[in-house]
Amino acid sequence: MDIFAKCYEKNLADEIREKDLYPYFRALESRQDREVIMEGKRRIMLGSNNYLGLTTNPEIIEAGVHALEQYGTGCSGSRFLNGTLTMHLEMEAELARFLHKDGVVTFSTGFQSNLGIISAIVGKGDYVICDRENHASIYDGCKLSYGKMVRYRHSDMGHLEKLLQQVPENAGALIVTDGVFSMGGDIANLPEICRLAKQYGARVMVDDAHGLGVIGEGGRGTASHFGLEDEVDIYMGTFSKSLASLGGYMAASARICDYVRHASRPHIFSASIPPANCAVALASLRYIEKHPELVQHLSDLAAYGRKVYKEKGIPIMESTTPIIPIYTYEAMRTLAIQKEIYENGVYVNAVLPPACAPSECLLRTSFMATLTEPLIDEAAEIMAKVICAQV
C-alpha cells in the first residue's frame, strides 16, 4: 500500500472547500492589531491571542530591532550548547521573579514547552492526569512521555478524585490542566485541584498560555488569580500571546528546572529563541510590570463585550475572561456564519471537532486591550445580524 494514499482520500477540508466555506490560512496584509487588512479588506480583529495588544507597541518593536542589531538574526544552536545569550538568562530571571518562582526554563515555542516539560517529568510507571479539554500540546506531551495518561471529564472534580484514587501508591502522579481554557474561556477549578493533589500526593502543572497577562495580580495568571502560587508546582506559558513574541517557558523550583534542562529532549535538541523574539518578550514583560492597569482594562472591555452581545441576542458561553465563545452548534452552520461575518468585516475563529464535540461548535471571539467600545459595538452589530438571520 502506498503510504501517501491517505493524502488523496477525501476529507473534511475538501468538503468545506467544495462548499466555499474554508476558513483557514487567511493572509494578513498588515500588523496584528485591533483592525487589520486581510485579503484586501478592513476587518475588526476579534480572533487574536494578542490579549494586551503589544504587537504594535513602539517601545516593544524598538527592543526587537535593537536586539537584531546587537545579536544578529539567530543563535544557530540549542541552549544546551552554543545558543545561550545573556539575554536568555536575563529573560528567565525576570520572568521567574514576576511569577514568584525560583526558576524558569525557556523553549522555542509554547507547543514545544508542553512536549518538553511533560516528557521529562513523567516517566515509566508514572501517571499524568488531564482535563479532557486540555490543549493539544498537552496530549502530545503525554504521548511523548513513558507514563500512563488518564483523562477526567472537563472540570469534573469528582471524576478527578476517582482517577487519583486509582493511581498505585508507588507511582508518581502529575495533574495537568489549562488555567484558562482556550476554546471556552472558562477558568480551571484550581483550588479543588490543588486540594485533591495534596490529599493524594500528586503534583500540579498549569498551562497558563491564556492566563498570563489576562488574569491574576498584574497578569500573573491562574495561580495568582486564586492565591495559590505556592500550591502549583509547575507553570507553563507562551510568549506568543500577551508577550507579543514567540517562545514558551516553564516556571518551577530551581531544582525541577535544572532537571528539565538536562532531561528534556525538545529543550536540548532545539535551537534557542532568536534574539529579536527574546528581546520582544522581555520588553513586553517589563511593560506589563509597569502597566498593570492594562490587565484590568482588558477585563473591563471583555465585560462590556459580553453585555453588548447579550443585548443583541448573541448566544454566548459564560466566561469571565477575554475569550467569549458564541454558540453555533453544527459545523457547516458555524462555517457559513463565520464566512458571512468575515465578508462583512469582522474576523472570528470557527471552532470545529476535534476541538469541540460535533454538536457544540463555536465561534471563538477574543478581545485585546487596544479595542475600543465603538469597535466592539460595530463588530457585535455585524455578528448579531448574521447570527439572528441564521436562526
- Hey, which residues are catalytic here? 182, 210, 241
The residue type found at 183 is M
User: What are the grid coordinates assigned to 335, written together?
Assistant: 462555517
Residue 90 CB contacts under 8 Å (≥ 6 apart), including other chains: 282
Cβ–Cβ < 8 Å for 194, 231: yes
Helices (H), the chain: 5-8, 12-18, 58-71, 86-99, 110-121, 136-144, 157-165, 190-200, 222-226, 254-263, 265-268, 275-290, 293-311, 331-343, 373-390
Calpha distance 206→358 (Å, rounded): 27
In which residue are the cell numbers 471537532 written?
Answer: 353
- Cα separation values, 219 from 184, 252, 289, 292, Å: 19, 18, 9, 7
Sheet holding 349-351, edge to edge: 323-329, 361-366, 349-351
Nearest Cα to 330, choosing from 378, 362, 373? Answer: 362
Neighbours of 121 (CB within 10 A): 26
Calpha distance 85→281 (Å, rounded): 14
For helices 86-99 and 275-290, the axis angle rounded to 10 degrees is 30
Cβ–Cβ < 8 Å for 70, 274: no
User: What are the grid coordinates assigned to 300, written together?
Assistant: 473591563
Residue 355, SS3 per DSSP:
coil
Nearest Cα to 211, choosing from 117, 295, 336, 268? Answer: 295
